Amino acid sequence: MAAGESRPLNEVQFLTVAEVAAVMRVSKMTVYRLVHSGHLPAIRVGRSFRVPEQAVHEYLRESYVGVETG
Q: What region does 46 belong to: left with phi over 0, alpha with psi -120 to 50, or beta?
A: left
Whether 56 shows a pLDDT value over 80: the answer reads yes
User: What's the pLDDT at 8?
Assistant: 76
Provide the terminal-to-terminal Cα distance of the chain, rounded to the nearest Å: 33
The predicted-structure confidence for 16-51, as pLDDT tens digits, reads as follows: 999 999 999 999 999 999 999 999 999 999 999 999
The helix/strand/coil state of 30 is helix
